[in-house]
Amino acid sequence: MNAIVSASLAMLLASIDQVGAVEMVTNQAIECRLTQVRDTTEVQFRVSNGGQDTWRLLSWHTPFDAWFSEFMHISREGRALRYLGALAKRGAPAAEDYLLLPPGASLVADLDLSQAYRLEPGSYKVELAPIVLSSYAGDSHAATQQLSLACEPLLLTLPEAGDR
């Protein structure tokens, strides 16, 4: 009996995987970069599409969301800093909540970390939460590929006020 249930479950899972499957891709020409602007609390986030597909990303919980969610983690000497920004409560996303990233294009967001974190002179590690991008074939409303994009952490140094 258990063998029949196991076989039926395996067949059901295989059919679910084939119907409406979304391919998770990892080796795309999508790059992201977080850089410090001079010796300030300002950083620039850039995501670039060097591939052939147009990608779409929900702006929520990303640097394109300003400070309405905690999309990054900052630590100093291994201790996490507390996020002081807003936390937005939302319903279902609308079409205008998504950003398009066509082939050859880049999206850029400039952020001032001091708007959401209490920072003092010293060294910090800044890490972004992974961003999920989706690719759609033709006029399809169902994603054909998804990509979880993780950026390299930024090592940020803030000098003493007199050292700037």
Pick one of 2.40.50.140, 3.30.2420.10, 3.30.499.10, 2.60.40.2970 as the CATH number of 22-163. 2.60.40.2970
This prediction has a pTM of 0.77
Exposure class string for 86-123: b at 16+ Cβ within 10 A, else e: eeeeeeeeeeeeebebeeeeebebebebeebbebeeee
State the Cα–Cα distance between residues 69 and 72, nearest whole angstrom: 9
Strand order in the sheet with 122-128: 79-80, 72-76, 122-128, 154-158
Instruction: Tell me the range of 79-93, 125-139, 141-155 where mean pLDDT is highest.
Output: 79-93
pLDDT (average), residues 93-104:
93
Q: What is the DSSP string of 100-125?
A: EE-TT-EEEEEEEGGGTS---SEEEE
Amino acid 160: pLDDT: 87
User: What are residue 114's phi and psi, to 5 degrees?
Assistant: -70, -10
More confident site: 129 or 23 = 129
pLDDT (average), residues 82-98:
93
- The model's confidence at residue 146, banded by pLDDT at 50, 70 and 90, is confident
**What's the mean pLDDT when you consider all of the chain?**
83
pLDDT (average), residues 155-161:
91
Check pLDDT > 80 for residue 17: no
pLDDT (average), residues 91-107:
94
**Torsion-angle region of residue 68: left (phi > 0), alpha (psi -120 to 50) or beta?**
alpha
Q: Are 40 and 160 in contact (CB under 8 A)?
A: no
